[in-house]
A and B are shown apart, each in its own frame.
Chain A
Amino acid sequence: MAKAQGLTWTIDDADHMTQAEIYGEVLTQIGLKNKRVVALTADLARSTKIGKFEEKIPERFYNVGIAEANMIAVAAGMTEAGLIPVVSTFATFASMRAAEFVRTDMCYQKRNVKIIATHSGTSFGQAGTTHHCTEDLAIMRSFAGMTVIAPADAFETARAVAAAIDFDGPVYIRIGRGFEPPMHKSMDFDFEIGKAIKLRDGRDLTIIATGVAVLQAMEAAERAAGNGVSVRVLDMHTVKPLDEDAVREALMDTRRIITVEDHSVIGGLGDAVADVIARSGKGCAFKKLGYQDCFAMVGYYEDLQHHYGIDADGIIDAIALVLKAEFEADEDWEDEI
């Protein structure tokens, strides 16, 4: 379905804009049309770029000061009047400082609030652990009724924000600091919540990635192809509900799967995929890339992605390991490698 609809402004008009600015712009366009949309932040209007909404629509913008839990509950309360509150703060504060408010006020009560969580993963590298967020996918996935999306780039973020506003129910959208390079070439591609995008087909192995890791996965697949390895890449932008069909299809077709995410290997995309594989009862060589149960060090984002093995180099290493891995064959499968 769904090409980008009704957005007078497209990202193509603004090559210089960062990922975060683009969501701010898209949200503003939506807000100008849909009077039920209100925006909130907790002293991070400028850092998260939701301030763009404030510039155009100040009468529907609220800055609650540095008070994230308060912000979530206020937003949940606003839905009682039929409003669609969109709140934005850093992922670490949205998912952890305010966690119980998100769970009890947004999810348990089925409140139509959208969270746009910025600076996720280690994208705020130099700020250290207090500002890194490698736990939010795990936390948000565990809340019943929550939809969890990690767009690959600015184009996908724009699509995700528009889709989230159209969707009735709580949504958590996780993006980076805003300087991530583009994955797509335009905003014009099929985007549906809960539906993986098969960016590249392959027979030998599948990489399932989410968020910024998708671009790295594509680079790694390209390099692997040069060595005669045929790699499928799934852009799993929606971590919950997971596109289980796409995972099962990858499992049956390639029997070798690597997951990549700018997140802990505990509880995120990797575990969601592992769950599908385990339930299938099929043999599979499998590896999860992400932060291995550690707090990441301080540093530049690119360096950290490299150090923790979630960039294209790390994925290439993982491909070599997974291609070598043995697994028990079953009647549906004979390993041809």
Chain B
Amino acid sequence: MLDAKERRKLKDKARELREKIVEVTFTCGGAHIGGAFSQHEILVALYYKAMRIDPKRPAWEDRDRFILSKGHGGVGHAVILGDLGYYDPVLLKDFNKTGSPFGMHLDRLKVPGVDFSTGSLGHGLALGLGAAMGARQTGKDWRTYVVMSDGECAEGSVWEAAMAAANFKATNLMAFVDRNRLSLDGPTESLMRLDPLDKKFEAFGWRTLVIDGHDLDQILDAVEISRAETERPVMVIANTIKGKGVDFMEEKTAWHYGGLDEAMRDAALASILKS
């Protein structure tokens, strides 16, 4: 549980970062803004509270590892890493520009603080399992956090990794599904049904929690549960809203990817301020 002051601080931080995501989306001409907003509180809770990291030492051996398996959320991730001081956030003015280190999907060889290059869906859970097994093998106590999208759970590779993580008792691995119920072509439940997603992961051997993915306390409580778990890896089905925080983007498939003109940017910022 967060105390009231901490909660206030984190919420303000989340809002400030949403505004920055809007600014980057405005300057770069277009970004995966809908999914960046649905995953947002999970990343904020992990990066500003839960994870053992040191932005001054991005290659610190004992840091916790983070994998944005839904790599298209890179715009949100990049804004957070810049804010934490992994690099000068001014660099983000070149997001998506030719020759920039920052593309839609972040490259670990170009962006400090990024542990794994993602963008092709369905890789992150297995990468995370490997990292977690690597830590255990080498007697290290760092933990690995993976954030997946719900759409990517249609990939067989997710379930191969899910089966393996339970099999190998990777309790130093924790994963989230950003359950915003929308993928690119529409609602997951009318495209490729996922429900009951929690029961599926449960059946694959995970301890599965269902939470409100925009509630910082619930996210951090889940992290505590994962840390205490000794038998099963923990999967969090985080119910979220695609486009969360900007009224005209919420629950809209069209805002999976989009650009903003000045008027839309101002409307988006106004909406974030109200929320």
Chain B CB within 8 A of A194 CB: no
Chain A CB within 8 A of B196 CB: no
106-152 of chain B: CB within 8 A of chain A: 107, 117-122, 151-152
Q: Which residues of B contact A45 (CB under 8 A)?
A: 185
B98: which of A46, A63, A93, A297 is its contact (CB, 8 Å)? A297
In the complex, what residue of chain A is closest to B253 when comparing beta carbons?
A46
Residues 113-156 of chain A: 1 if any B CB is under 8 Å from the residue's CB, otherwise 0?
00000000000011111110000000000000000000000000
284-324 of chain A: CB within 8 A of chain B: 297-300, 303-304, 307
Q: Which residues of B contact A65 (CB under 8 A)?
A: 151, 154, 183, 188, 191-192
A298: which of B99, B152, B155 is its contact (CB, 8 Å)? B99
Interface size class of B (residues with CB under 8 A): 20 to 34
Chain B CB within 8 A of A325 CB: no
A92: which of B102, B104, B120, B192 is its contact (CB, 8 Å)? B120
Q: Which residues of B contact A128 (CB under 8 A)?
A: 103-105, 107, 119
Q: With both chains docked as a complex, state the minimum distance between the C-beta of A314 and any C-beta of chain B, in angstroms.
A: 16
In the complex, what residue of chain B is closest to A63 when comparing beta carbons?
B191
Q: Is the interface of B mostly helix, strand, loop or mixed?
A: loop
Residues 61-80 of chain B: 1 if any A CB is under 8 Å from the residue's CB, otherwise 0?
00000000001000000000
Stretch in A66-74, A103-111, A208-216 with 4+ CB within 8 Å of B? A66-74
Q: Which residues of B contact A274 (CB under 8 A)?
A: none
A129: which of B107, B122, B154, B184 is its contact (CB, 8 Å)? B107
Are A63 and B185 in contact, CB atoms less than 8 angstroms apart? Answer: yes
Task: For the complex, give the distance between the alpha carbons of A10 and B98 in Å.
Answer: 36
Q: Which residues of A contact B117 (CB under 8 A)?
A: 129-130
Q: Which residues of B contact A125 (CB under 8 A)?
A: 98
Q: Which residues of B contact A300 (CB under 8 A)?
A: 97-98
Q: Tally of A-B residue pairs with Cβ under 8 A?
A: 94
Are A127 and B104 in contact, CB atoms less than 8 angstroms apart? Answer: yes
Are B185 and A298 in contact, CB atoms less than 8 angstroms apart? Answer: no
Task: For the complex, give the distance between the alpha carbons of A46 and B151 in Å.
Answer: 15
B105: which of A67, A127, A307 is its contact (CB, 8 Å)? A127
B185: which of A43, A67, A297, A303 is its contact (CB, 8 Å)? A43
Are B100 and A43 in contact, CB atoms less than 8 angstroms apart? Answer: no
Are A298 and B192 in contact, CB atoms less than 8 angstroms apart? Answer: no
Q: With both chains docked as a complex, state the minimum distance between the C-beta of B188 and any C-beta of chain A, in angstroms.
A: 7
Q: With both chains docked as a complex, state the minimum distance between the C-beta of A73 and any C-beta of chain B, in angstroms.
A: 10
Chain B CB within 8 A of A329 CB: no
Task: For the complex, give the distance between the alpha carbons of A96 and B183 in Å.
Answer: 22
Given contacts A43-B191, A127-B119, contact A298 B96 (CB under 8 A): yes
Q: Which residues of B contact A126 (CB under 8 A)?
A: 96, 103-104
Are B184 and A46 in contact, CB atoms less than 8 angstroms apart? Answer: yes
In the complex, what residue of chain B is closest to A299 when comparing beta carbons?
B98
In the complex, what residue of chain B is closest to A303 when comparing beta carbons?
B98
Task: For the complex, give the distance between the alpha carbons of A306 and B123 in Å.
Answer: 32
Task: For the complex, give the distance between the alpha carbons of A43 and B104 in Å.
Answer: 18
Task: For the complex, give the distance between the alpha carbons of A251 and B192 in Å.
Answer: 52
Q: With both chains docked as a complex, state the minimum distance between the C-beta of B172 and any C-beta of chain A, in angstroms.
A: 26
B154: which of A46, A67, A297, A299 is its contact (CB, 8 Å)? A67
Residue among A42, A97, A298 with most chain B CB within 10 A: A298
Task: For the complex, give the distance between the alpha carbons of A297 and B97 in Å.
Answer: 10
Residue among A66, A125, A300 with most chain B CB within 10 A: A66
Q: With both chains docked as a complex, state the minimum distance between the C-beta of B223 and any C-beta of chain A, in angstroms.
A: 27
Chain B CB within 8 A of A44 CB: yes
A64: which of B71, B97, B192 is its contact (CB, 8 Å)? B192
Chain B CB within 8 A of A47 CB: yes
Are B120 and A97 in contact, CB atoms less than 8 angstroms apart? Answer: yes
Given contacts A63-B191, A64-B192, contact A43 B103 (CB under 8 A): no
Given contacts A128-B119, A131-B105, contact A44 B192 (CB under 8 A): no
Residues 75-111 of chain A: 1 if any B CB is under 8 Å from the residue's CB, otherwise 0?
0000000000000000011000100000000000000
Q: Which residues of B contact A44 (CB under 8 A)?
A: 184-185
Q: With both chains docked as a complex, state the minimum distance between the C-beta of B242 and any C-beta of chain A, in angstroms.
A: 14
Residue among A130, A304, A307 with most chain B CB within 10 A: A130
Task: For the complex, give the distance between the alpha carbons of A297 and B117 in Å.
Answer: 14
Are B119 and A131 in contact, CB atoms less than 8 angstroms apart? Answer: yes
Are A130 and B105 in contact, CB atoms less than 8 angstroms apart? Answer: yes
Q: Which residues of A contact B184 (CB under 8 A)?
A: 43-44, 46-47
Question: Which residues in A have some Cβ–Cβ distance to B below 8 Å?
Answer: 41-47, 51, 63-67, 69-70, 92-93, 97, 125-131, 297-300, 303-304, 307
Given pairs A127-B105, A307-B99, 12 additional interface contacts (CB within 8 A): A63-B185, A65-B188, A66-B151, A70-B154, A93-B120, A125-B98, A129-B117, A130-B105, A298-B96, A298-B101, A299-B97, A300-B98
The 5 A-B residue pairs with the shortest CB-CB distance, nearest first, are A65-B192, A130-B119, A299-B98, A65-B154, A298-B103
**Listed A/B pairs (22) with beta-carbon separation below 8 Å:** A43-B183, A43-B184, A43-B191, A63-B185, A63-B191, A64-B192, A65-B191, A66-B152, A66-B192, A67-B155, A97-B120, A127-B103, A127-B119, A130-B120, A131-B119, A298-B97, A298-B101, A298-B102, A298-B103, A299-B100, A300-B97, A303-B98
